[in-house]
Amino acid sequence: MHRFPRRSILLIALLDTLSLVVMVVAGASTPPVLTVLFMQATLPFLLLLSSCPPSFPTCFATAKRREQKRFHRAHWQGGGLILLGIGVAMAPTVHVAFWHRQTDIGINTLAYVLCCLPAAVSQLAKEQAIIEFAQPINFYYLNLLLGIYQFVLLLVLSPLTYRLQGLGMGWDPYGATDLGTAVSDLCLCLFTARSIPPGRYPIEPECRYASLATFLYILCTLLVTFAVNGVLASGTPQMLYRTINGSVALAFLALAVYSVNKWAWVSSYALNVFDFIGLFLVLAGMEWYHSQPEPDTEMLTQFSLEDGEFF
- d(CA 21, CA 227) in angstroms, rounded, equals 27
221 contacts 242 by C-beta, under 8 angstroms: no
Average pLDDT, the chain: 76
- d(CA 177, CA 162) in angstroms, rounded, equals 10
Q: What pLDDT sits at residue 100?
A: 67
- For the chain, which residues score pLDDT lower than 70? 1-4, 52-69, 100-103, 133-137, 162-163, 165-177, 232, 235, 261-269, 295-311
Give, in order, the Cα–Cα distances in Å from 184 to each of 164, 189, 218, 224. Answer: 19, 9, 22, 31
Left if phi > 0, otherwise alpha if psi is -120 to 50, otherwise beta: which for 201? beta
pLDDT in tens, 46-97: 888 887 665 555 555 444 454 456 778 888 999 999 999 999 998 888 777 7
Q: What pLDDT sits at residue 40?
A: 92
- d(CA 135, CA 79) in angstroms, rounded, equals 32
State the burial class of residue 99 (Cβ atoms within 10 Å of its Cβ: 0-12, 13-18, 19+): exposed
Q: CA 167 from chain center: how many Å?
A: 19
Q: What pLDDT sits at residue 4?
A: 67
Residues in the chain: 311
Q: What pLDDT sits at residue 173?
A: 54
State the burial class of residue 56 (Cβ atoms within 10 Å of its Cβ: 0-12, 13-18, 19+): exposed
Q: What pLDDT sits at residue 170?
A: 58
Q: Of the candidates 133, 136, 158, which has an alpha carbon nearest to the alpha carbon of residue 25? A: 158
Left if phi > 0, otherwise alpha if psi is -120 to 50, otherwise beta: which for 196? beta
Q: Of the candidates 106, 115, 90, which has an alpha carbon nearest to the alpha carbon of residue 29? A: 106
- Which DSSP symbol is given to 70? -
Give, in order, the Cα–Cα distances in Å from 294 to each of 47, 118, 289. Answer: 10, 21, 9
Q: In 3-state terms, the chain is what percent helix, strand and coil (to 5)?
A: 70, 0, 30
Give, in order, the Cα–Cα distances in Å from 140 to each of 59, 120, 144, 145, 301. Answer: 27, 20, 6, 9, 11
203 contacts 234 by C-beta, under 8 angstroms: no
Q: What pLDDT sits at residue 263?
A: 52
Instruction: Determine the residue type at 211.
Output: S
**CA-based radius of gyration for the chain:** 21
* Helix, strand or coil, per DSSP, at residue 171: coil
- d(CA 121, CA 6) in angstroms, rounded, equals 17
Q: What pLDDT sits at residue 86?
A: 94
Give 74's contacts (C-beta < 8 A, 6+ positions apart).
Answer: 288, 289, 291, 292
What kind and span of H or E run contains 88? helix 73-99
What kind and span of H or E run contains 228? helix 210-234
Q: What pLDDT sits at residue 1?
A: 39
